Structure 1
Amino acid sequence: MDAAARDECGVAPIPPDSAGPPLLALAGGVFTMGSSEQRYPADGEDPPRPVNVAAFRIAAHAVCNDDFAAFVAATGYLTTAERDGWSFVFGGLLPDDFPPTRAVAAAPWWRQVPQASWRRPAGGTSDIDGRGDHPVVHVSWLDARSYCRWAGGRLPSEAEWEYAARGGLDRARFPWGEELTPAGEHRMNVFQGRFPEHDTGEDGYVGTAPVDAFPANGYGVHNATGNVWEWCADRFGPTRPGGRSMRGGSYLCHESYCWRYRCAARSSNSPDGSAGNIGFRMASDVPSALVDSSGASASGG
């Protein structure tokens, strides 16, 4: 590998569009970012404000296991979880006879599981066989940044992420509108039932779903909310110094404790943090000539 081509992460980039999910070209423009209906003041959703976003490109869906496996095969990259020897796993996805492990005091459903990583999402002998199209998880912000640089892109800013997630709908709660389940139809993968004891899987999934499991929004973006939290490039802000922003919520979001499966919702984690519900999608810069004035995709990739 040419040392001159390496970035500070030690990963050599490759030409854009040669790896990973297809990128949608979006025109950008002014949109209303944020929400006044936040339940968690420290999250900083409020106030809604006009934000101008330049033209950019963003992946139609999150990076999946097959995408990440190609990156690892090409570079030999070891994720933060693999180097540390553990990651956080939702206890409800572990076998009943799983050995006792350390739990998070404030959220005891999270278990610190030895050897849990993107390859072994529940530690032990778990694997990703048959789940190549599911989002890669147990990846830190550092891991996500390294993948994006290798693939010729970058992580989206929070403004870009929210603009894309809204799909052209002004101030809508979800990527498709205001109702969680319009006409009784599930539009994303979140927790149903009584959290954290039992996920009924009414939306068709317990744990992660394929990255394109639900219909795309108006811009062609799949699963912007639910499924897995998605890293963004930004620092979270003064309420959580050092944290990096995450967007979209995950398969563990439930109205009773984590009403963050909305376009405006925010959360954060440390840049070296990982868990079984955190993934990412890639973005990149784009010349304005590649998009039309509507904000819809004018170019695949």
Structure 2
Amino acid sequence: MTEGLEIHGVRAVPEGMVWVPGGTCAMGSETFHPEERPVRPVSVTGFFMDIRPVTNAEYAAFVLATGHVTAAERPSTPPVPSRVPGSYVFRQTQGPVPLEDRNQWWAYVPGADWRHPLGPASTLEDRADHPVTHVTYTDATAYAGWAGKQLPTEAEWEFAARGGLAGAAYPWGDELAPHGRRMANTWHGDFPWRRATPPGTSPVGAYDRNGLGLHDMVGNVWEWTTDPASAELSCAPAHPCRVPDAAEPETQRVIKGGSHLCTPRACHHFRPAARAAEPDTTSACHLGFRCVSR
């Protein structure tokens, strides 16, 4: 693991990043969901990756410097019907509900955005070190450009998430909870109505690093990648999709890593091979990002 002012070759490793050496790995899985098949070899060249997802504090610095206004903070533009600024927020149900109906636990909340992650009455107090959420793909790429970085490809993301453990189900190995230990911020209980701890993001770095020194590669928040989603993957988004803004043509992107809402019983997406599609105009309380530098 390298970071800070150490040197990789002739280039200093950027602060807050680690070097991911290039190589080849088996991408995908034959064990879980159809969209992860087939297992295929993928090669990547070396790159630097953020140790943790981008935080609220880091995103606030970007907004202060640039004046960027996120999609969740803007009304729609013609000819799209008028839409009050807002974003998708998870609502824990009072009891069991049909898991095929995502509208049971997702609500489009006016006034929800990265500054107000649970709705207009919420704030970022005590959340500066949590991953930023309610950012669209465009919002994420705007930050990356300002920081002199990029978003990862799906192959780069999965290669890094595996942390050198070729073929393992999780970044830490094949056992879900080794020695009974929770390894990521995921849903423990009966989704979407009963959980051992309150649902929500956790501070970045609260769980162990993988073999490359990366935190939160699964769980906590889904992360944007640059890859367009295939037609097969696009038919099953992670949650209901907002009406796209006419000013932002929509493309489905691959998101990776699962989130604090993922559970083995309902989706089991907190694995390197797991993947979902998200319209790049959508934002939600479980969707964030991290950057790479090539």
Q: What TM-score, normalized to structure 2? A: 0.82
Q: 2:219 — aligned with what?
A: 226
| Alignment: residue pair count | 253
User: In the aligned structure 2, how far is the partner of 1:117 from the partner of 1:261?
Assistant: 24
Aligned mate of 1:67, from 58, 70, 74: 58
Contact residue 17 and residue 151 of structure 1 kept, 8 A: no
Contact residue 190 and residue 253 of structure 1 kept, 8 A: yes
Deviation at 1:28, TM superposition (A): 1.0
Instruction: Kindly provide the amino acid, as one letter, of the partner of residue 224 in structure 1.
Output: M
Deviation at 1:226, TM superposition (A): 0.4
Q: 1:255 — aligned with what?
A: 264
Q: 2:89 — aligned with what?
A: 89
SS of alignment partner, residue 244 of structure 1: strand
Percentage identity across paired residues of the two chains: 43
Q: Alpha carbon RMSD of aligned pairs, Å? A: 1.9
Deviation at 1:23, TM superposition (A): 1.5
Aligned mate of 1:26, from 20, 23, 30: 20
Deviation at 1:130, TM superposition (A): 1.1
User: In the aligned structure 2, how far is the partner of 1:124 from the partner of 1:92?
Assistant: 18
User: In the aligned structure 2, how far is the partner of 1:105 from the partner of 1:38?
Assistant: 21
Deviation at 1:25, TM superposition (A): 1.3
Q: How does 1:1-301 map to 2 (within 5 A)?
A: 22-39=16-33, 41=34, 44-84=35-75, 85-92=85-92, 106-201=102-197, 206-239=199-232, 240=234, 242-285=251-294
User: In the aligned structure 2, how far is the partner of 1:171 from the partner of 1:275?
Assistant: 30
SS of alignment partner, residue 159 of structure 1: helix
Instruction: Kindly provide the amino acid, as one letter, of the partner of residue 273 in structure 2.
Output: A
User: In the aligned structure 2, how far is the partner of 1:176 from the partner of 1:138?
Assistant: 28
User: In the aligned structure 1, how far is the partner of 2:29 from the partner of 2:289?
Assistant: 22
User: In the aligned structure 2, how far is the partner of 1:185 from the partner of 1:17?
Assistant: 32
Q: Relative contact order (C-alpha < 8 Å, sep 6+): which is higher?
A: 1
Contact residue 253 and residue 259 of structure 1 kept, 8 A: yes
Instruction: Kindly provide the amino acid, as one letter, of the partner of residue 28 in structure 1.
Output: G
Instruction: Kindly provide the amino acid, as one letter, of the partner of residue 87 in structure 1.
Output: S
Contact residue 17 and residue 152 of structure 1 kept, 8 A: no
User: In the aligned structure 2, how far is the partner of 1:61 from the partner of 1:37?
Assistant: 28
Q: 1:11 — aligned with what?
A: none
Deviation at 1:27, TM superposition (A): 1.3
Change (3 A) 1:74 1:17: farther
Deviation at 1:105, TM superposition (A): 5.5
Deviation at 1:161, TM superposition (A): 0.4
User: In the aligned structure 2, how far is the partner of 1:199 from the partner of 1:277?
Assistant: 16
Consecutive unaligned residues in structure 2, runs of 5 or more: 1-11, 76-84, 95-99, 236-250
SS of alignment partner, residue 208 of structure 2: coil
